[in-house]
Amino acid sequence: MPPELRELTPADRLLSVIDQGLKAISGQPAGVARAGRPLPGPPEGSEGPAPGSAAAREAASLMRVNHAGEVAAQALYHGQALVARDPAVRTFMLDAAREEGDHLSWCAARLAALGSRPSVLDPLWYAGSLAIGALAGLAGDKVSLGFITETERQVEGHIDDQLARLPPEDRASRAVLEQMRVDEIAHGKHARARGASELPGPVRHLMRATARVMTASAYWF
């Protein structure tokens, strides 16, 4: 989202969210206004899995899951920023959304390099996550920050699992995931520093179950 969103009216912010949503699900790296940071690179001399190989197909499926997760992350932050009460919290959400935009662009670039495509269900992930983000935001800024803390905690575990499953020869995707992990941990830490509330156990379990559904679906579709 552009920085100017912080000064817009609620109606203007809503229109901007819709515009950003259309870009996020466009399937093009430039759809998130291009990454603000360069694509993390593997060590020099790494060629990656051979196109069409089993390793390349597996890496592509895993990176499609990560791309879908970043589409959802964009929507969550957009929805929370839309209804945030404290301008400082809104600023935090927008800054984090821009970093998630980098992740989205990086994952899209890796999918293209592996000869694959994003999930066909990306519009569903975005719409559902936008609604969830807005609901979390309406519950109050501390709850909204708590939602970020728990989301990033779960995402950290998800990335650890992805790194364990990623074919070892795909060092380019590994470099992307490792940088994403660093950023997600920082988002959670910053949310806690801003007074995030701890979410109830049933909510955390529901979030985990929802993430499993998205992960399983995006792997294949």
Domain of 85, CATH number, reads 1.20.1260.10
Q: Is residue 201 part of a domain?
A: yes
CA distance 70 to 135: 19
Give the pLDDT confidence of 78-114 residue by residue, as tens digits: 999 999 999 999 999 989 988 888 999 999 999 999 9
Q: Is residue 42 part of a domain?
A: no
Q: Is residue 155 part of a domain?
A: yes
Find the radius of gyration of the CA atoms of the chain: 17
How high is the pLDDT of residue 21?
Answer: 59
The amino acid that residue 199 corresponds to is L
How high is the pLDDT of residue 70?
Answer: 93
Q: Is residue 166 part of a domain?
A: yes
Residue 7 class from Cβ within 10 Å (0-12 exposed, 13-18 middle, 19+ buried)? exposed
The range of the structural domain enclosing residue 116 comes to 3-23+51-220
CA distance 194 to 23: 29
Q: Is residue 122 part of a domain?
A: yes
Read off the DSSP letter of residue 27: S
Give the pLDDT confidence of 152-176 residue by residue, as tens digits: 999 999 999 999 999 999 999 999 9
Q: Is residue 114 part of a domain?
A: yes
* Angle 117-128-19 from CA coordinates, rounded to 5°: 70
Mark the ranges of the chain whose per-residue pLDDT is less than 50: 1-6, 27-33
* Domain count along the chain: 1
CA distance 1 to 111: 23
Q: Is residue 37 part of a domain?
A: no
The residue among 165, 183, 214, 178 whose CA lies nearest residue 60 is: 165
Q: Is residue 16 part of a domain?
A: yes
Give start and end residues of each alpha helix (H) in the chain.
Answer: 10-24, 54-83, 87-113, 122-138, 141-165, 171-193, 201-220
